[in-house]
Amino acid sequence: MRKTALTLLRITGSICLTAHTAHAAEIPSAFFVAKSQNKNQVHYGVRVDDKTCTPAGNAPVWPYWRMLEKGPNVIEAITSSEQKYFGIDRQEVEGPTVRIVLHGLPSRPVVIQTWRDSSGACLASSTMTIAGSLRRLYSVFVAIKFFSLDHLDITGWTDDGAVVRERIVL
């Protein structure tokens, strides 16, 4: 079933993005993919410099599974066969910004910004194109019907906080 969802994700090129707080020198989730098939999610973490909260190294973003069906804190690595769908094709780091292109989503690059908030925590926010404009993403839901993709619901918000939604029917 996971392989079917991966294939569908590769076809659609959509993801869910949120901001999260860091632990030590990483931000555990800059964005994630949710799907109707089960509760499990693919998250993309960001390694950051602990002193500056800027992305660390040339490839600071990595994908992994949050296996919510097994428990709230169960994680698993993306397998080698899943890399072609969820793996990262390329990353470009410039200051506090990482631009990534996923193997399965080449037409939808993701821009991740990192920063330190007033309490000292490292944070990340991700953006991608929603309904033709670059928006901060809240979520992308991949609806699977039998062995095919039914639709995607992409939800985000504008700079002034207005909710924006895009449904892609496939």
116-166 confidence digits (pLDDT tens): 999 999 999 999 998 999 999 777 677 888 888 788 777 888 999 999 998
Average pLDDT on 34-52 reads 91
pLDDT of 70 strictly over 70: yes
Instruction: Give pLDDT, residue 45.
Output: 95
Average pLDDT, the chain: 83
Are residues 30 and 61 in contact, defined by beta-carbon separation less than 8 angstroms?
A: yes
Burial 154-165 (b: 16+ CB within 10 A, else e): bbbeeeeeeebe
pLDDT of 81 strictly over 90: no
CA atoms within 13 Å, Cβ hemisphere of 83: 8
Single pTM value for the model? 0.78
